[in-house]
Amino acid sequence: MTETTPAASAAADLPPLPGRVLTPAELKRWVRRLADRPELWEHLVRHDTGGRHFGSLYRDGDIDVWVLCWNTVDDTGWHDHDTSSGAVAVTRGAVHESRPRLGGTPRTRTVTAGRAFAFGPDHIHRMTGAVDGSVSLHAYSPPLWRMGQYSISRSGLMRRLPVSYADELRPIGE
């Protein structure tokens, strides 16, 4: 995993923000507009780091925006975003999103380039790269401070471990 820091000029060029916490639907519309402006985020795209690469594009008191670069070996493990809602726009390739189900196998979908989805703070999921060289944009509101990482045993026991937003997500103790 490698991380890059936000460009100082990013805020002036970003799609307009309302100056408040955004709803999941607003985040999805906003991240789609950002996806249409690759000149604002493409400088953070890298697939030559030997691991998952992510870069912080922008952060203020209302929103937190990241560029994530995926290969098929990349896996966030099960996690939530604590009190933050989020939206993801896939700009290149594809990612898999899985959601746990009580008493059943996880529900998995493939999100391809040009597609986006949003979720509330109650959303638990796991993301993996579906295609080497994939890229996705992630926006969270309010900004991430904490997240929860989960281990789910074969018997279905789920355990949550609180982590900082700056910690790299990865599968834990399954």
CA distance 18 to 35: 18
The answer to whether the peptide bond before residue 142 is cis (omega within 30 degrees of 0) is: yes
Q: Mean pLDDT check: name the lowest of 44-58, 72-86, 126-140.
A: 44-58
Collapse the DSSP code of 2 into the 3-class scheme (helix H, G, I; strand E, B; otherwise coil) and give the result.
strand
In angstroms, rounded to a whole number, what is the distance separating the alpha carbons of residues 65 and 167?
16
pTM given for the model: 0.89
SS3 label, residue 53: strand
Q: How far is CA 7 from CA 17, 29, 34, 66, 151, in A?
A: 17, 22, 15, 12, 35
> Per-residue pLDDT tens for 58-117?
999 999 999 999 999 999 999 999 999 999 999 999 999 999 988 888 999 999 999 999
CA distance 116 to 88: 5
Helical (H) or strand (E) element with 100: strand 94-101
d(Cα 76, Cα 163) in Å, to the nearest integer?
Answer: 13
Cα–Cα dist 58/55, whole Å: 9
Percent of the chain past pLDDT 90, that is, above it, reads: 71
Tell me: pLDDT of 3 over 70. Answer: no
